[in-house]
Amino acid sequence: MSEIAQTFRFYKNLNHLEQKGAIMAEYIWIDGSDTTVRSKSRTLRGEIKSIDDIPVWNYDGSSCYQASTHNSEVILKPVAYYPDPFRSKEYNILVLCESHIWADGDFKELRPANTNFRHYARKIFEAADHQEPWFGIEQEYSVLEHKNKFTVKPLGWPSSGYPGPQGPYYCSVGATNCYGRSIMDAHYKSCLFAGLKIAGTNCETMPGQWEFQIGPVAGIEAGDQLWVARYILMRVAEDFNITITLEPKLFKDFNGAGAHINFSTTIMRSGEQGMDYIHQIIEKLKNQHIMHIQLYGDNSKRLTGQHETSSAEIFTSGVGDRTASVRIPSFTAMNDGLGYIEDRRPASDIDPYVALSAVVDTTVNDGAH
């Protein structure tokens, strides 16, 4: 057994040790890069019955691209909590937080920190509540291994040059095409332990690339669950001594990584307005195409019109079309508009609070926010 695997085993074996009533709480927040999460631990005592039982905390924002050193304190406001799969006892928790900073010198007023888009998304979701928006997000990611101290390469790739062309890798089985299944499985199980609505997972078109889906989840919670699923993925990868990247386009001649957003409203799930409603929704998305592209992560290299993507310049839609900006799944068309639509434009590095609230604001709120 490798040294890493042995360490991993040992660490898991600590799970049976008694904690004498104490709770290990891992506070998680989004840092100033808006693509990375950070976390630190704290011991809590007493039963946690609701989010209100978890205290507000703080961290050094100057070390997270979020604050200056002389006014470095960022306040962590817990917003959701989940059983911690790494300290696998139901009472140990992961605590997702919003970041806020003091607006003034007398500590009376808090304002959202630079990447706290959840704060703004909340209002957009509240306004759309009557249509109960559901989301399924397909998070694609690449697994990187360390070749030496300074360079990394996708898992399974040769130590120099490129692997064979795309074709055999998507949903593959077998050691010559599929790289990283144990990592994916550890992530899948851990998400289920945490109570996340992980819908599934699959090996992707570029070797060393994978996908998992979160959903369907209603409202802002879809964003919360995606961030926690990303955190769990980074933690699993750490145990395997490999790295996860959400970089949307690593290599020109291979598929990039997206975060397709599958979306439905109450009307779509009842089918009562048929395909007319689907077409109205798509028309609204088309009219705001440029704004959506700006809010959908870094698509500068990914949306080329090649490699199963649409063009960043032109909005298109179609039934079952994987080159379209927005795809109508064939089952939705077959069932006369009962179902959902898929926005294929979002890149893997989206902030889901930004991207999901853009979808909701354009389609349900008519851009009122």
- Kindly report the length of the chain: 369
User: Within its chain, how far is the Cα of 44 from the centroid?
Assistant: 27
Distance CA 329, CA 336 (A): 11
The tokens of 164 are what?
């064979």
Is the backbone peptide bond immediately before 329 cis, with ω within 30 degrees of 0?
Answer: no
The tokens of 235 are what?
């933690």
Interface with Mn ion by CB under 5 A: which range of 32-40, 227-235, 258-266, 300-308?
Answer: 258-266
**Binder of ligand ADP out of 125, 227, 340, 353 (CB under 6 A):** 340
Q: Residue 99 in contact with residue 112, Cβ under 8 Å? A: yes
DSSP structural state of residue 56: P
Distance CA 319, CA 326 (A): 9
Q: Tell me whether residue 85 or residue 215 sits nearer to ligand ADP (CB atom).
A: 215
* Nearest C-alpha neighbor of 245 from the set 148, 349, 351, 157: 349
Q: Tell me whether residue 316 or residue 365 sits nearer to Mn ion (CB atom).
A: 316
Does residue number 211 form part of the binding site for Mn ion (CB under 5 A)? yes
How many residues bind Mn ion (CB under 5 A)? The answer is 3
| Partner in contact with 224, chosen from ligand ADP, Mn ion, none, beta carbon below 5 to 8 Å by kind | none
Does residue number 247 form part of the binding site for Mn ion (CB under 5 A)? no
**Binder of ligand ADP out of 99, 142, 209, 262 (CB under 6 A):** 262
**Binder of ligand ADP out of 140, 224, 342, 343 (CB under 6 A):** 342
Distance CA 182, CA 132 (A): 36
Distance CA 175, CA 171 (A): 13
Give the nearest distance from C-beta 41 to ligand ADP in angstroms.
31
Residues 6+ apart with CB under 8 A from 94: 26, 28, 39, 81, 82, 83, 84, 194, 228, 231, 232
| Partner in contact with 216, chosen from Mn ion, ligand ADP, none, beta carbon below 5 to 8 Å by kind | ligand ADP
Q: Residue 135 in contact with residue 261, Cβ under 8 Å? A: yes
Does residue number 264 form part of the binding site for ligand ADP (CB under 6 A)? yes
**Binder of ligand ADP out of 188, 263, 315, 353 (CB under 6 A):** 263
Helix (H) or strand (E) holding 29: strand 22-30
Taking CB under 6 A as the rule, which mask of x and - marks residues 113-142 in contact with ligand ADP? ---------------------xxx-x----
| Partner in contact with 264, chosen from ligand ADP, Mn ion, none, beta carbon below 5 to 8 Å by kind | ligand ADP
Give the nearest distance from C-beta 210 to ligand ADP in angstroms.
12
| Partner in contact with 262, chosen from ligand ADP, Mn ion, none, beta carbon below 5 to 8 Å by kind | ligand ADP
Return the sign of the alpha-carbon dihedral for residues 223, 228, 233, 238.
positive
Q: Tell me whether residue 60 or residue 185 sits nearer to ligand ADP (CB atom).
A: 185
Residue closest to Mn ion (Cβ): 260
Does residue number 216 form part of the binding site for ligand ADP (CB under 6 A)? yes
Give the nearest distance from C-beta 281 to ligand ADP in angstroms.
12
Bridge-partner residues for 200, per DSSP?
213
Give the nearest distance from C-beta 213 to ligand ADP in angstroms.
3
C-alpha distances in angstroms, 207 versus 123, 167, 186? 40, 10, 19
Binding site for Mn ion (CB under 5 A): 138, 211, 260
Binding site for ligand ADP (CB under 6 A): 134-136, 138, 199, 213, 215-216, 260, 262-264, 269, 340, 342
